[in-house]
Amino acid sequence: MVSGNRADGGPDLDTQDGQEEGPVLDTSVAHPARVYDYWLGGKDNYAADRSAAEAIIAVRPAIVRDIRANRDFMRRAAAFLAAAGVRQFLDIGTGIPTQPNLHEVVQDIAPDARIVYADNDPVVLAHARALLVSTPEGETSYIHADLRDPDLILQEAARTLDFAQPTAVMLVSILQLIRDEEDPYGIVARLMSRVARGSYLVLSHPASDIHGELVAESARRYNESVVTPVTLRDFGQVARFFDGLELVDPGIVQCHRWHPRPGISVNEYEVAGWGAAGRKL
């Protein structure tokens, strides 16, 4: 883990326990975080990532709009919860930093907020300093870890977060990378079992039941070239992640329709992704 409340930019990070070598970066195979970065208009991607991203755009040009709608969902949800009094955020599957990052959104509302980011892409690790620039009152930290190991994430996150206090667990466009046989529902349940009452789960997920055939074909092409394949899920399967939680209005909706920004029309098009927030009672 790398942590701190003041850090400058740069690609190099210190490691724990005197280790000098970080995770190996393989640029020959497309990686989800870097493909996502390309769709967002970023520059932290390689030829394999761009090739995979363009293959999807060729059959589904709306993927770029959908991905950007998903990113904006994260920002709106984070702002909504910060305004509601949540002061701790655990963002798993952070992705390559984009402006504004989650901590910037949250700490603009609540300067004393604490944020922990977690991701398993070496490129995200290389840019983690951009995620560590906190307000003096708050704190941010970064964990290089995989969602498939929730206990490690919880253990390391506890260095920054107090799980006796309400925490927002952010799983934005990440659970599709967990296959059914890897028990995604058990992973989410484990994470939520450790946070206090009054905590929230914020989740978005690519939908198999919106523009079904087109989305299925784009997923097939994606899975041909990306190191971690995606598993699409429908409304009912996404709803299962919120078992035992109280859904925040308007419930599970296409992510661009969850508390849209004032004056933004959201009924003229469909986004193939479900989004919601649920409160632990």
**pLDDT number for residue 6:** 30
Which pLDDT band holds residue 29 (cuts at 50, 70, 90)? confident
pLDDT score, position 91: 98
Tell me what pLDDT residue 238 has.
98
Per-residue model confidence as pLDDT tens digits over 53-97: 999 999 999 999 999 999 999 999 999 999 999 999 999 999 988
**Whole-model pTM?**
0.90
Has residue 175 been placed in a domain? yes
Per-residue three-class SS string for the chain:
CEEECCCCCCCCCCCHHHCCCCCCCCCCCECHHHHHHHHCCCCCCCHHHHHHHHHHHHHCCCHHHHHHHHHHHHHHHHHHHHHCCCCEEEEECCCCCCCCCHHHHHHHHCCCCEEEEEECCHHHHHCHHHHCCCCCCCEEEEEECCCCCHHHHHHHHCCCCCCCCCCEEEEECCHHHCCHHHCHHHHHHHHHHHCCCCCEEEEEEEECCCCHHHHHHHHHHHHHHECCCCCCECHHHHHHHHCCEEECCCCCEEHHHCCCCCCCCCCCCCCCEEEEEEEEC
Instruction: Give the least confident one: 9-13, 24-28, 61-65, 133-137.
Output: 9-13
Assess if residue 18 is contained within a domain: no
Q: What pLDDT is stored for residue 3 in this prediction?
A: 43
Which CATH number do you get for residue 56?
3.40.50.150
Whether the pLDDT of residue 13 is over 90: the answer is: no
Print the domain residue range for 63: 26-280
Evaluate whether residue 11 is within a structural domain. no
pLDDT value at residue 9: 33
98-118 residue pLDDT tens: 889 999 999 999 999 999 999
Instruction: Report whether pLDDT(12) > 80.
Output: no
Please indicate, yes or no, if residue 9 is contained in any of the structural domains.
no
In a domain, 19, yes or no: no
> Does the residue 141 lie in any domain?
yes
Is 151 inside any structural domain?
A: yes
pLDDT band for 22, please (50, 70, 90 cuts). Answer: low
How many domains does the chain contain in total?
1
